[in-house]
Amino acid sequence: MAAGLGLDATGVDLAANALRTAGDKAHARGRAVRFLRHDARRLGELGEVFDTVLDCGLFHIFDGENRAAYVAALRAAVPAGGRYFMLGFSDRQQGEWGRVHKLTRVEIEAAFADGLRVDSIEPSTIEIATDSDGIQAWLVERNANRRSPCRDRAAQPVPRPALQALLQQGPPPRPAPPWSFGEW
């Protein structure tokens, strides 16, 4: 969690049970996190900006108008120099996964083509408890197309291992290290 790095962290979800689970995890880890029950497609309505947005498992459920609304919300809520990181199901993943849309690189690039720059799209894996192989995913980093007059730590490149660790939902703390991707 970003809060584990000493950063202000806000979790947004429409599902009350997801917020409860995340709140329980944050509490168990001794982290101070603000959770809001809100539609991510309407982030701009919060009247706030976020230097960094971590998306693990949301972008790939949207298609058409919902995807466009989510990207517009990101544009409204992420300031110049801000960053967006996404871990989403890849078209390389075999089998069916319900309402999850498997993303292609072309779809990702097209979604962010208007005013946002995709800095990288890399193959990755979403770790899940039910399959030791995990889920084939894309790890996407994008930055606002505008440049910020000041550079802060949110605008600095994020090391790949640490980013993957942040995006994974990870188990609660236990004797073995909970992340297998290295240090921040």
Per residue in 160-183, pLDDT tens?
A: 555 555 555 443 333 333 332 222
Residue 49 pLDDT: 93
The domain limits of the chain are: 1-38, 52-167
The Cα 90–Cα 93 span in angstroms is 6
* Angle subtended at Cα 146 by Cα 140 and Cα 161, rounded to the nearest 5 degrees: 30
Per residue in 68-112, pLDDT tens?
A: 999 999 989 998 888 899 999 999 998 887 778 899 999 999 998
The Cα 153–Cα 155 span in angstroms is 5
- 8 Å CB contact between 76 and 114: no
52-167 to CATH, choices 3.40.50.150, 3.40.50.720, 3.40.50.2300, 3.40.50.970 = 3.40.50.150
As a whole number, mean pLDDT of residues 32-58 equals: 93
Residue 1 pLDDT: 59
Residue 8 pLDDT: 87
Per residue in 112-125, pLDDT tens?
A: 887 677 889 999 99
